[in-house]
Amino acid sequence: MNDSTDECISLLLVDDDSAFLDLATTFLARVDDRFSIRSTTDPCEAVAIVRDAEIDCLISDYDMPGTNGLELLDIVREARPNLPFILVTGTGEEALASEAIRAGATDYLQKDHGSDYYTVLANRIETAVEKRRAERCARECELATSAASDAFFRLGVSSETLTLRSGFEQFGYTVDTTDLDWWFERVHPDERAGLREAYAAVKAREEWAFDDLEDDRGRFSGTVRWRCADDSFVTCQLRGIAVYGNPEPRIVGTMTDITERKEHERALTALNDVAVDLGTYDTVEGICERSIEASQAILQFDLSVIDIEEEGYLSKAAISEDLPEMYTIAMPVEEGIAGKTYRTGESLLIDDIDTHPEANPKGPYRSALSIPIGSHGVFQAVSEDPNAFDDTDLDLAELLVSHTASALDRLEREQQLRHQNERLEEFTRIISHDLRNPLNVVDGYLELAREEYDSSELDEAAATLSRMEAILEDTLTLARSGRVVAEMQSVALDDIAGDCWQNVATASATLEVSTTTEIRADPGRLRHVFENLFQNAIDHGGSDVTVRVGDFDGGFYVEDDGAGIPEDRREDVFESGYTDADGSGFGLAIVRRILEAHGWDVHVTDGTDGGARFEVFVSDGSN
């Protein structure tokens, strides 16, 4: 019976009856000459053999002194989870057979005598072993076929004979069979010692060397820099399966050239660093020059330029040193490839400039990339060779240019904020000086008049003057509140609410705080928010109002149990000058202006007990 393969099948027979072992060894050897048979009457010795030797199948008696076959099976499964295990017994109880299969036995057979019994046993052994080997081969084939376009190899571990299959031609080698040293000689010197150590660990089945390790096989993977026949190095992904079976342990594996992928990953990492770096520049020229430097150092673009739009022209803001001076001439946005890119906002990858309808070539350049920088301008890279750029170049260049556009957007916003704050400073200076001085003069004359005359008209004038001064102060606060918050710090809501409550004339009002949330905010301006909301609650809810501060998913709230705000007036309350009580009418307008300066939103709804509830929605970066 030797139809399927000539590969040896190593058996271990375990039985407390030595005569049965001798007989079984004789008959099984006659049935199939592939069987290499070892036997023992000691289950402990059987476990040691399984751990130390290459066994393809274990056949064990059930009833033995001090133990039984199922207990032996449990111990064997710890060492060799997938080893075929056949249990034989002198009884044919179905319950025992079911228990054996549930415990993980591969097969179950009742003992008998004569050649027919051993033929059946041999068939069961062959079936179990061949199934296990088929599963193992299927995994090896899966590894090979999944990398059919790459380099596939097989290594005999004992002989260290290396067989190179298809795919090694891409590295310049046509060798079919060689030795392991030949492969190691082509590993980069910096990695050679580490790879030899890993190989030794694979041979010794050390767990750290594997991605996963079973009883007779283990999978491993890694990367290696390997020298091609032209002496250039490529980065390869190495994947393999070590199989510890007969006739000798072997390794099958693949080598996949991932040099381009590694270069792409390196470029992505470097471009992310550039994005951070661009955030430190405060001029258009600095941002553009840093971007050109990155295009040369990271993307390997020798010739590149950035044009910035100014009054209908694209003017050079930064340029590679090797580009001629003709490229420093400004061009109308209606002309050329750069003009089309700017007008359409679409990138262009041009394989041959001479055939492009928008081209107005200046110099010996045949191919180009042209990428819009938002609304700011255009980035271009050129080459004297046709088809010099591909889709990967375009993708990486667009990533770089997106960082450039973000930096220019930031610069533009910062300039707008500076201008806005300068206008606010001028406005507050006018109010603070040009309006306050006349009021101070009026207040002085009013005080002199009241010293000579006791008049209700003068009292009314004093009250009106005080109201004007309050409006002036609130107007200054409102103007200053409009500045966008540039620097924020962590603020505990419970602490700031408690502090602000002490600064408001609260009479018999009550504050309840049910949050320990911390947010990032401008503490000074956030105080104005709480003080104005507290004052609003007291002004409209009465001296004994209860005010609550809490949080919700996405923000915090301030609510009271007063009369509330009608739904049709909830937006009006944030308008400057709106009031239905004594006051300037600027309090809630200041609240909204400060919150908007933080990038937050505020809405009014019904309170828990029927009063007004102001909900502040905090941006993610402030949580």
Q: Map tokens 């017994």 to a residue.
A: 89
pLDDT of residue 4: 42
Q: Is residue 1 part of a domain?
A: no
Q: Other C-beta atoms within 10 Å of 612: how many?
A: 23
Report H helices in 165-282: 180-185, 189-203, 259-278
- Distance, in Å, from the CA atom of 395 to the CA atom of 399, rounded to the nearest integer, reads 6
pLDDT of residue 580: 58
pLDDT of residue 1: 45
CA nearest to 27, candidates 39, 42, 41: 39
Residues 242 and 155 grouped into a single domain: yes
Residues 474 and 486 grouped into a single domain: no
Residue 167 sits in a domain of what CATH number? 3.30.450.20
Residues 352 and 433 grouped into a single domain: no
What does the block give as tokens for 80?
A: 């060799």
Pairing of strands 177-179, 151-156: unpaired
Residue 542 sits in a domain of what CATH number? 3.30.565.10
- How many CA within 13 A on the CB side of residue 565? 22
Residue 48 sits in a domain of what CATH number? 3.40.50.2300
Residues 446 and 501 grouped into a single domain: no
Instruction: Say if residues 198 and 204 touch (Cβ distance below 8 Å).
Output: no
pLDDT of residue 244: 83
Instruction: Say if residues 22 and 13 touch (Cβ distance below 8 Å).
Output: no
Q: Is residue 433 part of a domain?
A: yes
- Distance, in Å, from the CA atom of 398 to the CA atom of 393, rounded to the nearest integer, reads 8
Residues 189 and 296 grouped into a single domain: no
Residues 505 and 386 grouped into a single domain: no
Handedness of CA 124, 126, 132, 134 (dihedral sign): negative
Q: Is residue 3 part of a domain?
A: no
User: What is the 3-state secondary structure of 382-423?
Assistant: EECCCCCCCHHHHHHHHHHHHHHHHHHHHHHHHHHHHHHHHH
Residues 326 and 349 grouped into a single domain: yes
- Domain containing 90: what range? 9-137
pLDDT of residue 92: 66
CA nearest to 16, candidates 76, 85, 88: 88
Residues 38 and 105 grouped into a single domain: yes
- Distance, in Å, from the CA atom of 90 to the CA atom of 111, rounded to the nearest integer, reads 5
Which stretches of the chain score pLDDT less than 50? 1-5, 144-145, 147-148
- Distance, in Å, from the CA atom of 542 to the CA atom of 582, rounded to the nearest integer, reads 13
Q: Is residue 184 part of a domain?
A: yes
Q: Is residue 197 part of a domain?
A: yes
Residue 312 sits in a domain of what CATH number? 3.30.450.40
Number of separate domains in the chain? 5
Which of 368, 388, 408 is at the close of a domain?
408
Residues 488 and 609 grouped into a single domain: yes
Q: Is residue 2 part of a domain?
A: no
Which of 434, 456, 480 is at the close of a domain?
480
Q: Is residue 471 part of a domain?
A: yes
Residues 435 and 499 grouped into a single domain: no
Residues 568 and 610 grouped into a single domain: yes
Residues 400 and 437 grouped into a single domain: no
Which of 447, 462, 480 is at the close of a domain?
480
Q: Is residue 4 part of a domain?
A: no
